[in-house]
Amino acid sequence: ESISLSHNYFLKSHLVDAGSRSAIATWCDQVADTLSFSRETVGIAMLYFDRYLSSGKGQSGDSLQSKDQFQLAAIASFYLAIKLNEPIVMGIDHMSRMTRGFYSEEEIATMEQDILFSLEWRVSSPTPMDFVRHLLELL
């Protein structure tokens, strides 16, 4: 069983940097607030995003060489986190509309699939909030 180690993926790119990641995280926070999603979902999305870009698998290298692909990876990570952690069902068509049609449903779905394969479908990581909820149930 292989485990990918995290590293500073920005070292592999001249086009994207920590500021680019911060801008994406801010956009996800704004969308989460607008749609009344949990901020925890945004944190999980950024975890998927960082793990994907650090993995060196699939098309993750391309996402570090193109701002459009970098954004698409972040959007697909956010969509994946919403599907797995929010109690609502949000269609991929809605996610495409949130990008004002810049990314098609097919592009988002293809990137989501690449993320899942690159992470070897390991997207069920417990968070600190999961631990706290479990602890509170015991009290």
Phi, psi (deg, nearest 5) at residue 10: -65, -20
CB atoms within 10 A of CB 137: 7
Question: What is the dihedral sign for C-alpha 125, 128, 130, 134?
Answer: positive
Closest CA to 34 of 98, 100, 108, 109: 98
Model pLDDT for residues 88-102, shown as the tens digit of each residue:
889 999 999 999 999
- Helices then strands, counting H and E runs in the chain, come out as 7, 0
pLDDT greater than 70 at residue 2: no
Q: What is the pLDDT of residue 7?
A: 63
Model pLDDT for residues 104-129, shown as the tens digit of each residue:
999 999 999 999 999 999 888 677 77
How far is the C-alpha of 54 from the C-alpha of 60, rounded, in Å? 8
How far is the C-alpha of 44 from the C-alpha of 48, rounded, in Å? 6
More confident residue, 52 or 135: 52
CB atoms within 10 A of CB 134: 10
Q: Looking at 7-11, 38-42, 112-116, which range is the least confident one?
A: 7-11
Q: Averaged over 1-26, what is the pLDDT?
A: 72
Q: What is the pLDDT of residue 3?
A: 45
